[in-house]
Amino acid sequence: MDRHDPPCTTTDEITDLALRIRIGSLQTIANAGLGHVGGDFSVSDILAVLYGGILRVDPSDPQWPDRDRFIMSKGHAAASLYTALALRGFLPESELATFAGPHSRLGGHPDRSKTPGVETNTGPLGHGLPVGVGMAIGARMKGATWRTYVIVGDGEMQEGSNWEAIMYAAHRGLDNLTLLVDRNRLQQGAGTEETNALDPLDAKLRAFGWDTTVLDGHDVGTLWDVLRQPVIPGTPRAIVAETVKGKGVSFMEGLAAWHHRVPTDEQVDQAIAELTGARS
């Protein structure tokens, strides 16, 4: 093991990291009075697997040229990304308290010029994957072995720019690119299927030439296994991670209203009690 390797060696450690990402995101949002807790909680297990078990990065040298690239294209889930970066050592955990405040390095949406470990600016949906395709092509041109990982929201998959990127990644045979779709079936104010249906999403990705796996996005063991499997040469990889918006908190799960509602102090306490209880 060298200092670039991810820190977790067991699924229990990844599960614990996911819990810390959820609690950190919740407190960050409650403190700032803004954020997107529902989509932070749907993606927390995926972030824990990536930062805990997959990504080779260097918190002491965020621009290390051989690092894996990770793009949180659903940039509204910034609080979970910042928490994951803090827990991996890119930021002091205490800095999370500055989220969205004056002069903070941690804006409401990620900014690569401010936050160590952020690879590209996101927030306007539909741009992270096209940038990731460019990064994967860049790696190929340099003969580099690092991988590019992109998380998109499922509502975000309604953006046409993604489908252009998906088509081109297959055309270029980018087997060094992994797309993870946070398939929580909700977007800002309603369900994805009633707004602009995506199903059958996996069949569409396969038809575009991607090696596609559908799995439970809260099953960290399975996700970790799939991400460590050898790639199919010449084929980009997609994972449709079926998730629940607000996962882990009874009064948030599956409710569009928790897309960007801010919890009260009482709700924060109840949520932490449920999250920590669910672990034992």
CB 73, min distance to ligand TPP, A: 9
- Which of the choices Mg ion, ligand TPP, none does residue 76 contact, using the CB cut-off of 5 to 8 A by kind? ligand TPP
- Separation CA 54–CA 57 (nearest Å): 9
Q: Does 130 bind ligand TPP (CB under 6 A)?
A: no
**Which stretches of 153-200 are DSSP H helices?**
160-171, 192-196
- Which range in 8-16, 137-145, 148-156, 272-280 contacts ligand TPP by CB under 6 A? 148-156
- Which of the choices Mg ion, ligand TPP, none does residue 150 contact, using the CB cut-off of 5 to 8 A by kind? none
Q: Does 122 bind ligand TPP (CB under 6 A)?
A: no
Q: Smaller CB distance to Mg ion: residue 111 or 242? A: 242
Q: Smaller CB distance to Mg ion: residue 136 or 179? A: 179
Per CB under 6 A, which of residues 49..108 are in contact with ligand TPP? 74, 76
- Which one among 67, 237, 245, 247 touches ligand TPP, defined by CB under 6 A? 245
- Which of the choices Mg ion, ligand TPP, none does residue 74 contact, using the CB cut-off of 5 to 8 A by kind? ligand TPP
Q: Smaller CB distance to Mg ion: residue 36 or 147? A: 36
- Separation CA 94–CA 86 (nearest Å): 9
Q: Does 45 bind ligand TPP (CB under 6 A)?
A: no
- Separation CA 184–CA 243 (nearest Å): 5
Q: Which long-range contacts (CB under 8 A, 24 or more apart) does 103-111 make?
A: 106/78, 106/82, 107/78, 108/34, 108/35, 108/78, 109/75, 109/76, 109/78, 110/72, 110/75, 110/78, 110/81, 110/82
Residues 132, 150 contacting (CB under 8 angstroms):
yes
- Number of residues lying near ligand TPP (CB under 6 A): 21
CB 43, min distance to Mg ion, A: 9
Q: Does 188 bind ligand TPP (CB under 6 A)?
A: yes
- Which of the choices Mg ion, ligand TPP, none does residue 25 contact, using the CB cut-off of 5 to 8 A by kind? none
Q: Does 162 bind ligand TPP (CB under 6 A)?
A: no
Closest CA to 249 of 8, 19, 90: 19
- Separation CA 118–CA 110 (nearest Å): 7
Q: Does 202 bind ligand TPP (CB under 6 A)?
A: no
Q: Does 153 bind Mg ion (CB under 5 A)?
A: yes
Tokens 């977790």 locate to 8
Q: Does 184 bind ligand TPP (CB under 6 A)?
A: yes
Q: Does 15 bind ligand TPP (CB under 6 A)?
A: no
Q: Which long-range contacts (CB under 8 A, 24 or more apart) does 58-63 make?
A: 58/3, 58/4, 59/88, 59/89, 59/90, 59/116, 59/117, 60/3, 60/89, 62/90, 62/116, 62/117
250: left (phi over 0), alpha (psi -120 to 50) or beta: alpha
Binding site for Mg ion (CB under 5 A): 153-155, 184, 186
Binding residues for ligand TPP, per CB under 6 A? 36, 38-39, 42, 74, 76, 123-126, 153-156, 182, 184, 186-188, 245, 259
